[in-house]
Amino acid sequence: MTAPFFEFGLFSPEVSLLIAFVIGISFGFFLEKGGLGNAKKIAGQFYFTDLTVFKVMFSAIVTAMLGLFIFSWIGFLDLSLIDFSHTYIIPYLVAGLLFGAGFVIGGLCPGTACVSSATGRIDGMVLLIGFIFGIFLFGETFGSFEEFLFSTPLYQISIPEYFGASFGLIVFLVVVVALLGFIGASKVEKIFAGKSKETNNSISKPKINILLGSFAFVSALVVMFLGNPYHQQYNIDEYNKIPFDETISLSINSEELAQMVLSRKKDFIVVDLRSSEKFEKYHIPSAVNYNDSLSLSEISTKGKKIIFYDQGNRTDERVVSKIKSELSDKFYFLEGGLNNWFNEILFPNLNIPRGLSPDEIDKAVRRSRFFGGTPKLKKAGISKGEKYMREGC
């Protein structure tokens, strides 16, 4: 059995919502159990008198990071089927500052405000009402600053990919930073909180903490040498690739490309930058494989748009240099690469609520089948076609 279970059709969307509800209740219970529904306790974070939030969050990060890595490496979890958000530098910085300011002023974040409200605290209820109003206001004014929200994009990229480092090395460094942070946090608390804090923490836990810390460190050390959690789904040569340069290129999403292919117009050419073996296994219809005999400058002079794609958002640095030398005008690249084409066009998961109308769902189904894919519509398992195409790429 392989996770994520929902992606492989182990249970229906309705059951997934029930599971999410149970997990949410459990999460809230343990937040309250740890005292994180109390704004005074959270405010202690900013006065260095109580760093419980720091410890809880870093414990969660380390546990999840090591668990996901190990489960994926042994084949229990397919990380390639777990999606993560796109990165937009400036909007995320602004959002972080706003979130931090609200956290300092109110003493609660959205999650802890829910927990605080559930236990009858008035400050939590007031903040929760504010959050709901803010969500409504954001939705109503979204169009006025939509352009800013999608500015300075890095798209779907992880820290190891960005720095060209091993996944295992990054995990190891995060764990080391977390362990040093735990040690430092305890010392800082004693300095700023004085004797009262030391007395409150006098419960004998040093042996357990040392044991858990040692286990995390040894696990991280092993993970560092394992290197890549994606097992066979993620090619190790991705480390040597770089993102497409957005100063000389424009992005196009999978739906736009699919519409262009369906239109059968001749004013564009799709170029596959992967190896010839992978190209033969599967490629986007009408695409040509990139090779030394392909004259990009000649294609460009004919006024055709050139759309490049690789497996993801990154490609070989030498190829990018060659493209730059041949093309004077801006070219296009497929956002998310072939991975995104699989997820959005060939095998769209229409079981997940996307706010699509019945006509839009029907269009997605017909488009998927036109290109030889299989839309996911309340059916168990993963199709043979999807397994063949994904594993072959």
At 372, which CATH number?
3.40.250.10
Give per-residue pLDDT as tens, 131-190: 999 999 988 998 888 888 878 877 667 788 778 788 899 999 999 999 999 999 988 988
Which domain-ending residue is among 191, 226, 261?
226
Q: Give the total number of structural domains in the chain.
A: 2
* DSSP assignment letter at 75: T
22 and 162 assigned to the same domain: yes
Q: Is position 5 within any domain?
A: no
Token pair belonging to 313: 């958002």
309 and 194 assigned to the same domain: no
Q: Is position 147 within any domain?
A: yes
Q: Is position 97 within any domain?
A: yes
Q: Is position 378 within any domain?
A: yes
Give per-residue pLDDT as tens, 212-230: 989 999 999 999 988 778 6
Query: Which of 146, 150, 128, 127 lies closest to 138 in space, CA to CA?
Result: 146
CA distance 336 to 265: 23
Place of tokens 């033969």: 280
Q: Is position 244 within any domain?
A: yes
CA distance 233 to 77: 11
238 — pLDDT class (breaks 50, 70, 90): very low
Domain, as residue range, for 273: 235-393
146 and 260 assigned to the same domain: no
344 — pLDDT class (breaks 50, 70, 90): confident
259 and 210 assigned to the same domain: no
pLDDT at res. 126: 93
DSSP three-state, residue 290: coil
Query: Which of 96, 39, 31, 86 lies closest to 57 in space, CA to CA?
Result: 31
pLDDT at res. 198: 47
Quick count: other Cβ atoms within 10 Å of Cβ 84? 9
pLDDT at res. 199: 43
151 and 240 assigned to the same domain: no
CA distance 351 to 10: 13
258 and 358 assigned to the same domain: yes
Contact 123, 37 (CB under 8 A): no
Contact 106, 123 (CB under 8 A): yes
Tell me the C-alpha to C-alpha distance, in Å, between residue 236 and each of 108, 281, 362: 41, 19, 37
Tell me the C-alpha to C-alpha distance, in Å, between residue 147 and each of 153, 155, 179, 354: 11, 15, 40, 21
32 and 149 assigned to the same domain: yes
Give per-residue pLDDT as tens, 33-92: 888 888 888 888 888 888 888 888 899 999 999 999 998 888 888 776 676 777 888 999
Phi, psi of 231 (to 5 degrees): 55, -120
Tell me the C-alpha to C-alpha distance, in Å, between residue 159 and each of 7, 67, 87, 164: 25, 18, 11, 8
Q: Is position 6 within any domain?
A: no
174 and 291 assigned to the same domain: no
DSSP three-state, residue 145: helix
Q: Is position 164 within any domain?
A: yes
98 and 126 assigned to the same domain: yes
Q: Find the angle CA(65)-CA(66)-CA(69) to the nearest 5 degrees.
A: 85
Quick count: other Cβ atoms within 10 Å of Cβ 348? 24
Quick count: other Cβ atoms within 10 Å of Cβ 229? 22
Bridge partners of 308, per DSSP, are: 271, 333
280 and 305 assigned to the same domain: yes
Give per-residue pLDDT as tens, 86-137: 788 899 999 999 998 988 888 888 889 999 998 899 999 999 999 999 999 9
72 and 40 assigned to the same domain: yes
Which domain-ending residue is among 196, 226, 256?
226
192 and 59 assigned to the same domain: yes
Decide the pairing of beta strands 331-334 and 249-252: parallel
Q: Which element (helix H / strand E) includes 234?
A: none
Alpha helices in the chain (DSSP H): 13-33, 39-43, 52-73, 89-106, 110-118, 122-141, 146-149, 159-163, 167-193, 195-200, 206-226, 254-263, 276-281, 296-301, 317-326, 337-341, 358-370, 384-391
Q: Is position 76 within any domain?
A: yes
pLDDT at res. 155: 63
Which domain-ending residue is among 205, 226, 247?
226
Q: Which element (helix H / strand E) includes 81?
A: none
Q: What is the dihedral of CA 6, 10, 13, 19, to 10 degrees?
A: -80
